[in-house]
Amino acid sequence: MKSLKAKAHELKKEITALYYAYRDPDTGILPKLILLFTLGYALSPIDLIPDFIPVIGYLDDLIIIPALIKLSIRLIPEEVMRRSREKAQAEPLNIGKNWMFGILFILIWTILIIYVVIFTVDLMRK
């Protein structure tokens, strides 16, 4: 249990570092887009796979979020990531679940679902 808590604390520090890397002017456009998605998904109270679904409900917490964090870190220049980690250590943020990210993800999922429904209905009419 202590190991899981330590890993969770480490992930929280990495998310803070990713936030600082996102704000760094030396971070490129593609890494910033991936970072925005990663931070949005990690901080959103809405999960892609709801936690109440047995076993796979925690899949995003155990696999998707760490994978997005690793991908983001790989795309960020090493110097930027080093500076961001130092800043995260010196100036930790109170990062928790953010309902603004949740609303954004609900909006995105709603638009995607509407698009798929319209596309499917259009295909069925032909």
On the question of pLDDT at 34 being above 80, the answer is: yes
What distance in Å separates the CA atoms of residue 73 and residue 80, rounded to the nearest whole number? 10
Give residue limits of the domains in the chain: 2-125
The predicted-structure confidence for 71-124, as pLDDT tens digits, reads as follows: 999 999 999 999 999 999 998 876 555 566 667 777 877 888 898 899 999 888
User: Does the reported pTM lie above 0.75?
Assistant: no
pLDDT digits (tens, 9 = 90+) for 46-57: 666 677 777 777
Which residue is listed with tokens 């009419």? Answer: 125
Q: Is 27 exposed, middle or buried (0-12, 13-18, 19+ CB in 10 A)?
A: buried
pLDDT reported for residue 81? 96
Check if the beta carbon of residue 23 is closer than 8 Å to that of residue 36: no
